[in-house]
Amino acid sequence: MSVVTQQVKDLATEAGFDLVGVAAATAPKTWDAFSRWLSLGYAGEMAYLERNPSRRADPAAILPGARSLLCVGALYHPGSSASTHEDRPTGRVSCYAQGDDYHDVLIPRLRSVLERIQARWPGTEGNVYVDTGPVLERDFAKEAGLGWFGKHTNLINKQVGSYFFLGEILLTLDLEPDTPAADHCGTCTRCMTACPTDAIVAPYELDSRKCISYLTIELRGAIPKTLREGVGDWVYGCDVCQDVCPWTIKHGRVTKDPALAPKPDRDRPALADLLRLDQAGFSERFRKSPIKRTKRRGLLRNAAVALGNVGTRSDVPVLSDALRDPEPLVRAHAAWALGRIGGDEATDVLREARSSEKEEDVRSEIDDALCAVGAEL
């Protein structure tokens, strides 16, 4: 490896990144797979993925003279969960979202690496990305040897598993590329069979519209009724396909990075507490967390679905309050949850809400819920 390449990699390691590699700034190898994925509609409402195709297809279109990508990985699995809430139903939060927002941690860290590169090699231009730009991050990270595409589509690394974030610096500096990681999935299909919503429609192909991560984070409107049961108790993201992977079980490593460590009460929030959050409470509780992305109404929608799946009749009062929430989205999903829980109290609450509900979509959810509990309309 050239001296410059080694020195650049050392700067990233010194900054605290767990995985470091280099890819050439050429067109992404999986561009055709990406285009096909878009054309099949698998991106759902994530319209930003269709923007700037020419920039996504060619790093030099983002940064003229781009030669290399310094690709990094940062472990984020927090280890075993600590929270308990006696017997109250709780929701699950993906382990990537139990700490502070990783963009806020990793972007400044990569910028400081770029500044050190520019100080040592004056005239070098560079752009920093963590999820934020028109870059197929997994494609370049794979080329840089950080891991291979698992059948669940996440990159897996032989030494550490798949629980790591990706980031990269696009550079005009000429660095020596690493050897791409070889595929070690073999005939295993555990992630595909374990996915609760059958979102992994073929090996290496994910239909986002079915993925719990998309449904609980990216989707702004109602969660399709046919998928709500599969969402289970997840209220933000999902880890199932990675948790069942033999590479996670045998080699998965926990983060040692204090900046990405879990925050109290983020892994297993009590669902009733989430449903009672007003705007000020939501903003305060999730100010530094990635969870703020769903906005209050998205998180309360998710909490209602989870309560419909794991709640009991003692949760009817909190769902009854949610039926009066100012957000129609929350009222609609609270109605669905009451229909799942059933019983006389839930039926009375639904009937009462129906008489005053003005929004057609919500009324239709209430009607379906009343049907589900066997009540006459």
Question: CA–CA separation, 67 vs 56, rounded Å?
Answer: 15
The residue among 138 and 333 lying less far from ligand B12, judged by its C-beta, is 138
315 catalytic per annotation: no
Q: Which residues bind ligand B12 (CB under 6 A)?
A: 30, 33-34, 37, 46, 49, 94, 96, 130-131, 135-139, 149, 152-155, 162, 164-166, 183, 204, 206, 208, 211, 213-214, 218, 237-239, 241
Question: CA–CA separation, 210 vs 41, rounded Å?
Answer: 11
The residue among 195 and 366 lying less far from ligand SF4, judged by its C-beta, is 195
For 118, other C-beta atoms within 10 Å of its C-beta total 15
Q: Give the amino acid at 187.
A: T
Shortest CB 345 distance to ligand B12, Å:
34
CB 5 within 8 A of CB 20: no
Shortest CB 209 distance to ligand SF4, Å:
11
Binding footprint of ligand SF4, residue count (CB under 6 A): 12
**Which residues lie closer than 8 Å to 258 by C-beta, 6 or more apart?**
none
CB 170 within 8 A of CB 59: yes
The residue among 30 and 90 lying less far from ligand B12, judged by its C-beta, is 30
Q: What residue 71 binds from ligand B12, ligand SF4, none (CB within 5 to 8 A, per partner kind)?
A: none
The contact mask relative to ligand SF4 for 231-270 (x = CB under 6 A, - = no) is -------x-xx-----------------------------
Q: Which residue has the tokens 């972007």?
A: 107
The footprint of ligand SF4 on residues 163-202 (CB under 6 A) is 195, 197, 199-200
Which of residues 43, 97, 211, 277 is near ligand SF4 by CB under 6 A? 211
List beta partners, residue 206. 200
Shortest CB 28 distance to ligand B12, Å:
6
Shortest CB 232 distance to ligand B12, Å:
13
Q: Give the amino acid at 193.
A: T
What the block records as the tokens of 5 is 């390449």
Nearest CA-CA partner of 91 in 239, 231, 271: 271
User: Counting contacts by CB under 6 A, is residue 162 touching ligand SF4?
Assistant: no
Q: Which residue has the tokens 């600590």?
A: 82
- Which residue in 18, 100, 104, 131 is the catalytic one? 131
Question: CA–CA separation, 18 vs 36, rounded Å?
Answer: 32
Angle at 119 between CA 116 and CA 124, to 5 degrees: 95
- Chain residues that interact with ligand SF4, rule: CB under 6 A: 152, 195, 197, 199-200, 206, 211-213, 238, 240-241
Q: Which amino acids are annotated catalytic?
A: 131
